Amino acid sequence: MYIQQLYTNCLSEAAYYIESNGEAAIIDPLRDIEAYIQLAKERNTTIKYIFETHFHADFVSGHLDLSKKTGAPIVYGPGAKTNFKVHNAADGEVFKMGNISLEVLHTPGHTLESSCYLLKDENNKAHALFSGDTLFVGDVGRPDLSSGDMSSEELAAIMYETIQTKLLPLADDVIVYPAHGPGSSCGKSLGPNTHSTMGEEKQSNYALQAQSKEAFIKAVTEGLGAAPRYFPINAKINQQGYEAIETVVKKGTTALPVTDFKQKIKEDVLVLDTRHADEFTQGFVPGSVFIGLEGRFAEWAGSILPFDKTIILVTPAGKEEETIIRLSRVGFDKMEGYLKGGFEAWKTAGEKVDLVIDVEADELIMDIPHDPNLKVVDVRRETEFADGHLANALNLPLNEMTDVAELAQFEDNDNLYIHCAGGYRSVIAASLLKRQGIHNLRNVVGGWGKIKEQEKAKIVKEASVLN
């Protein structure tokens, strides 16, 4: 028996490769499937099954392309309705692979079709639980993402029964392999590790403690932040199907000379610049949106960019295909090429450029008392803001900046100093503001991390910090 977790940091997502005697299964694959095919080839195994724990909302699964490549059936739990052929497993159904087996545990609550897969070893002993978004390290899946006509409270009540009847009876030494780790928006307080044991979770996971159903419902539903806007879109794509990733990559990796790139811009496309934030602020194609590959790129792209617009790219040299693949992971299919030669080619051709003025934190603090038009715009999350911020700062969380009404609150004579925690989100915010015609702005380098070090910074906290 062999198990490998394939973890993707920028999405906090874990897929799994399981193998026994030349037969393998993949659980919750990402859309770019080459890693799974290559691993099976290296280990001289045949991919026999593709298991899905539920309709993922935070990424597009690779189930369709992987099934086409390998001939392996796609397995969902009970009640999963799709626009393509799948095997809907019954609760308790067993799938054999070599000398091991996977038993389906229908575990509704996060979604109605959510299912876990219990791996039993050569001696038919329960060895590991592939828990999807039902059970995380330190948390359970939020019940407000894919409820259909059900409220989050109703789904939480179902999850309570799932935990009592399906999870708590499992032996303490069963390893827990969830679909997500820290940073994922699929839960509200995921722990720092990407695997655990049932014994550890029974001891430390708040949702697995002895409590009434009413107390459980309150615990798992309170303090939930808004889910990223792309979640319903991705869940629908996973249910209905999508274009083959090879087609998306081929179309997206079309090299566009400056003249062709300019022509595309006239067709009302979106220019996405994925270079490092430090490079972007020094110069970019006017009207570009910045989302750098160095951060949680795909997640922010899904949260901010429209899915119905054609995208053309400005990328770091050699990062064109990576950019397209990472965009496709969250459902973007309308990429139609990249700027050949990158931003340097644009600049060399003598085309107009824009920039974002960077300022240090000490300069911001010095300017505040002397500029009555200065506005500090803090684009961190509400909970981050509440935990400490500059006096009189405006909190405009980045994920809310897709609303033009939110951006229209600024006056022409406002001098905006934008910051986040470290400098990544603030550059995204600056690019969005500039795209809306707001140019009187500066980016605070190092963000809150540098601001709070300033002796003269007037820092305040909210009376209560949301969880």
What is the mean pLDDT of each successive set of 10 residues along the chain, which is 467 residues long? Answer: 96 97 98 97 98 96 98 97 97 98 97 97 98 97 80 95 98 98 84 95 96 96 86 95 96 97 95 98 98 94 95 98 97 97 98 98 96 96 94 94 70 94 97 94 98 96 63
Find the helix or strand (DSSP H, E) in which 265 lies: helix 258-266
Eight-state DSSP code of residue 259: H
110: left (phi over 0), alpha (psi -120 to 50) or beta: alpha
Identify which of 379, 373, 353, 376 has the alpha carbon closest to the alpha carbon of residue 365.
376
**pLDDT score of 131:** 98
**pLDDT score of 254:** 97
**pLDDT score of 408:** 65
- Rounded to whole angstroms, how far apart are CA atoms 57 and 404? 25
pTM of the model: 0.93
Q: Which residue has the tokens 């509704």?
A: 108
Structural domains present in the chain: 2-232 (3.60.15.10), 243-348 (3.40.250.10), 357-460 (3.40.250.10)
Eight-state DSSP code of residue 165: I
**Residues, the chain, total?**
467
Helix, strand, coil distribution of the chain in percent, nearest 5: 30, 25, 45
Tokens of 452: 């709070």
